[in-house]
Amino acid sequence: MPLHIEVITPERRVYEDDVDMVIAPGSEGYLGILPHHAPLLTALGPGEFRVKKGGSEEVLAVFGGFMDVREGRVTVLTEAAEHVEEIDVRRAQEARDRARAALEAAAPMSAEDIQRAQAALQRALVRIRVSERRHRRRGE
């Protein structure tokens, strides 16, 4: 019996399929979800979200949110998620550099601006890390 999974953002349904296994970045570490998993509601951290089906694996970058597991269904509600193929690494590296420069600037920043720059840096680093792992796995 496969797991039915949906990954949903406010803008779109990023992924939906019947799969064999889900590996998700929980707030306290990675979680593996198989069919017949006990009911679970957990916060997600930013990171690599993997879906295994047959002999293949699909990878998404997720940026926090929640995962609900019950009765053979996995529902992920997240602010943002991207298929690894959608990640523009050059753009992510530029965003990382801009965020680091903003955080290192001598000019005083409000707490809100610091928080915004830290969030941008974290998103960029997740995109870069997920993309780099994909290329290492494929030997590219």
Q: Give the pLDDT of residue 73.
A: 95
The torsion angle over the Cα atoms of residues 17, 22, 26 and 30, rounded to 10 degrees, is -160
What does the alpha-carbon distance between residue 30 and residue 67 come to, in Å, rounded to a whole number? 12
CATH homologous superfamily for the domain 3-84: F0F1 ATP synthase delta/epsilon subunit, N-terminal (2.60.15.10)
Picking from 26, 7, 17, 9, the residue whose alpha carbon sits closest to that of residue 76 is 7
pLDDT for 136 beyond 80: no
pTM: 0.77
Q: Domain residues of the chain, as ranges? A: 3-84, 88-138
How much is the mean pLDDT over the chain?
88
Positive/negative CA dihedral, 37, 84, 77, 103 = positive
- Segment 67-98, tens digit of pLDDT: 999 999 999 999 989 888 887 888 888 888 88
Across 108-119, b (16+ Cβ under 10 Å) vs e yields eeeeeeeeebee
Two structure tokens written together for 48: 């690599």
pLDDT for 140 beyond 60: no
Beta bridge partners of 68: 41, 75
Q: Give the pLDDT of residue 135.
A: 62
Arch. (CATH architecture) of 88-138? Up-down Bundle (1.20)
Q: What confidence tier does 44 reach under pLDDT thresholds 50, 70, 90? A: very high
* Helix (H/G/I), strand (E/B), else coil: 128: helix
What does the alpha-carbon distance between residue 139 and residue 50 come to, in Å, rounded to a whole number? 18
